Amino acid sequence: MLHRRHFLTGAAAVAASLPLARTAWAQEAAKPFTLPKLSYPYEALEPHIDAQTMNIHHTRHHQAYVNAANAAVERWPALASMKIEDVLRDLSKAPDAVRTSVRNNVGGHWNHAFFWELMTPGGAKDPGGDLRAAIDQAFGSVDKLKERMNQAAVGRFGSGWAWLIVDKAGKLDVVSTANQDTPLELGARSVVLGVDVWEHAYYLKYQNRRPDYLAAWWNTVNWTKASENFGRNL
């Protein structure tokens, strides 16, 4: 899902074997984190999420996390060859000097890559199959799940996220994380849904009206992707 490259593979390996020939592109190739392309245009989620917000969110905010994550790799090269979910699940693996940067920026990269894929201009409007049955069992109905997610998202003071996860015990649960903390840190086995409630995700269109943004956001959810997420252990 996430776009990354490993050191000493592909173009980077060629560059390493020819040190005198190292060029700007080779240095670029050695960086593991890249901004993923969206599978839909920035205006595709209108009127729920406006094109300008999507553009700035993707090209400025997410790009900034990617850039800073790559800067963290320069300070902790081992990060380049580690599975991103393993790092975020146990941040104690990161050296003290880079732990905060990894939490914020690798976390920000993971969260946003997840978020883009979870939205779509088309697709199923409600969950089906196993995910639907699990939601009904855990929350009573899809509407009740939405209420729980909205409560978690509105209740998040400042910036952060609300998530639907499969927890350590294998149960569906709604949780919230601050800043760019990920649900992986909370022991999530799978991450099914996630909504960004940083103001940068909605302020241009909704200003301070986070509940209005959330109500609109549900119209963009890619339930087909959510079902895939439900069946995928991280």
Per 3-state DSSP, the chain is made up of helix, strand and coil in percentages (nearest 5) of 60, 10, 30
Shortest distance, position 117 Cβ to Fe ion, whole Å = 14
**DSSP character at residue 105:** I
Pair of tokens at residue 184: 């992986």
The position carrying tokens 């339930």 is 223
Q: Which phi and psi angles does 33 have, rounded to 5°?
A: -105, 135
- Taking CB under 5 A as the rule, does residue 117 contact Fe ion? no
- Taking CB under 5 A as the rule, does residue 217 contact Fe ion? no
| Candidate residues 65, 161, 198, 230; the one interacting with Fe ion per rule CB under 5 A | 198
What is the total count of residues that contact Fe ion (CB under 5 A)?
3
Shortest distance, position 208 Cβ to Fe ion, whole Å = 17
Q: Where are the alpha helices (DSSP H) in 76-178?
A: 84-89, 96-101, 107-117, 129-139, 142-155
Closer to Fe ion by Cβ: residue 7 or 203: 203
- Taking CB under 5 A as the rule, does residue 181 contact Fe ion? no
Q: How far is CA 114 from CA 36, 154, 219, in A?
A: 10, 20, 17
- Taking CB under 5 A as the rule, does residue 196 contact Fe ion? yes
> Is the peptide bond between 95 and the residue preceding it cis, with omega within 30 degrees of 0?
no
The residue number with the shortest CB distance to Fe ion is 196
Following DSSP, what letter does each residue of 3-35 receive, concatenated? -B--TTSHHHHHHHH-GGG--HHHHHHT--B-P
- Taking CB under 5 A as the rule, does residue 202 contact Fe ion? no
Closer to Fe ion by Cβ: residue 139 or 202: 202
**DSSP character at residue 119:** B
- Taking CB under 5 A as the rule, does residue 173 contact Fe ion? no
Shortest distance, position 104 Cβ to Fe ion, whole Å = 12
Interface stretch with Fe ion, choices 15-23, 83-91, 153-161, 193-201 (CB under 5 A): 193-201
Interface stretch with Fe ion, choices 128-136, 153-161, 196-204, 220-228 (CB under 5 A): 196-204
Closer to Fe ion by Cβ: residue 198 or 217: 198
- Taking CB under 5 A as the rule, does residue 110 contact Fe ion? no
Question: Which residues are at the interface with Fe ion (CB under 5 A)?
Answer: 196, 198, 201
